[in-house]
Amino acid sequence: MVESPAPPLSRADRERLLDELLRSPAFGRSDQLRRLLRYVVAEEIEGRGTGLSEYSVGVHALGRPAEYSPDVDSTVRSRTHELRKRLEEHYRRHPSEWRIELPRGTYQPRFVRFEPETPAAAEPNAGWPWRVFLAGGLATLGLAALGFGVWRVWQSPGERAIQTIWGEAAERGSRVTIALSAPLQFWIRNLGDAPQPVDDPPFLAPAPKSPEFEAWFLRHGQADTARAFLHPNLHSPLWGDASGAIALTRFFSARGVEIEFLAERNVRPAALRDRNAVVIGRAEYSYSIAQLQPGNGYRIAYDRERRRVAVFDPAGKAVHYRERGGQINYGIATMLVNRTDRGALRTVQFSGINSDAAQAAVEYLTSGRHLAELIGWVTAQGRPMPASFQVVVRTTSRDTYSLKAERVAFLALE
């Protein structure tokens, strides 16, 4: 196809081209890219295309705040790059005489007319070797296409499941905030004969003076407890929570998603609803989890009667406890979708009776195989897959590290 000059399109024709793109499968799963495309094309139709800038696109199309700075937030550039790829993909699959293009280096779209190239004159028959070469090339291409097709068939169920569950939050160029919780705790320190530190702790406390504490302290390779003291700490996450955060980082990074990593203690729960966000922790020590967890769903809390932490069902009954000396544990993955003018934003929570179960819940909800099985199980019962839901996961662990995760309960929250 070659570009050719042509008289300008009417407003109705331009709006028709935009509508065709917005309904295209190439944009079917990305509210963010549709908003971006609709905004820049509408501005061009209204004659304001020359005024489009990275800042205006970020604020008016992608919902960035007024104080947004393109110097520190590359969302607009990454989403525009993805938009150009989707436009190329659409017109590759659906050739059209008129196209909407977004040239590199600008945010102003243009309407371009393309015509088929004039076929080159047929060359004389070059004889048998040429035919053999052509046949061999076609056979090689055919085998490659077949292999690619087989790969797509094998790969697509899990990928489709991830796209269904995570939506725009798992798309290349999106941005997700990971908020990692940490309980209030004391760090046991022993500096020997050196004086205690004075520069950073708000206060220090003496270590317990009991035989049990001293035996435990010595058993873990520490020195005599005579000089031990307690140092308050706000920002040390539990092992499984941290492992879950690492698994999420791998999941999003592999998909080209930008990650903002924060200490949950420094984030207001209301702010997490205004973005794609993941929170890891337990209501016992995570204010965000306590505020955002659904009141009509599963939750992890302390069972006063049995004096153990448990998973409680929506009716308020404790249904799962740790088993086999702590090797069997239970966690909850909660997916909440908030539909806004910026698209379907996701707030995802991962909690565990022990932190290894929070890690297991993360690994379950980021596994294409598990998600494909979950969607198949839900739809086999004649129900559509809800956008907001909870999954209770059982994990088999060793040394507080999850080895296997499986679903034991599911709850639709819509």
> What is the tens place of the pLDDT at every residue in 2-57?
455 445 788 888 999 998 888 888 886 678 888 899 999 999 998 898 889 888 89
CA distances from 46 to 9, 52, 53, 112 (A): 13, 12, 16, 17
Beta strands in 254-400 (DSSP E): 258-263, 277-280, 299-303, 308-312, 318-320, 328-340, 343-352, 389-398
pTM above 0.75, yes or no: no
Q: Alpha-carbon dihedral of residues 239, 240, 244, 246, nearest 10 degrees? A: 30
| CA angle, residues 361, 363, 366, in degrees to nearest 5 | 105
Say if residue 11 is exposed, middle or buried (CB neighbours under 10 Å; 0-12, 13-18, 19+). exposed
Give the tens place of pLDDT for each residue, 52-61: 988 889 888 8
Question: Strand pairing of 389-398 and 401-412?
Answer: antiparallel
Q: Which helix (H) or strand (E) holds 187?
A: strand 185-190
Residue spans of alpha helices (H) in 179-274: 211-219, 239-254, 269-272
Concatenate the DSSP letters of all residues of 261-286 into one string: EEEGGGS-HHHHTTS-EEEES-TTT-
Q: What is the pLDDT of residues 324-371, one digit of tens each?
A: 777 899 999 999 998 877 678 899 999 999 999 999 999 999 999 999
C-alpha–C-alpha distance, residues 403 and 113, integer Å: 57
- Whether the CB-CB separation of 359 and 282 falls below 8 Å is answered with no
What are the residue boundaries of the structural domains of the chain, listed by start?
A: 2-115, 162-183+238-412, 193-233
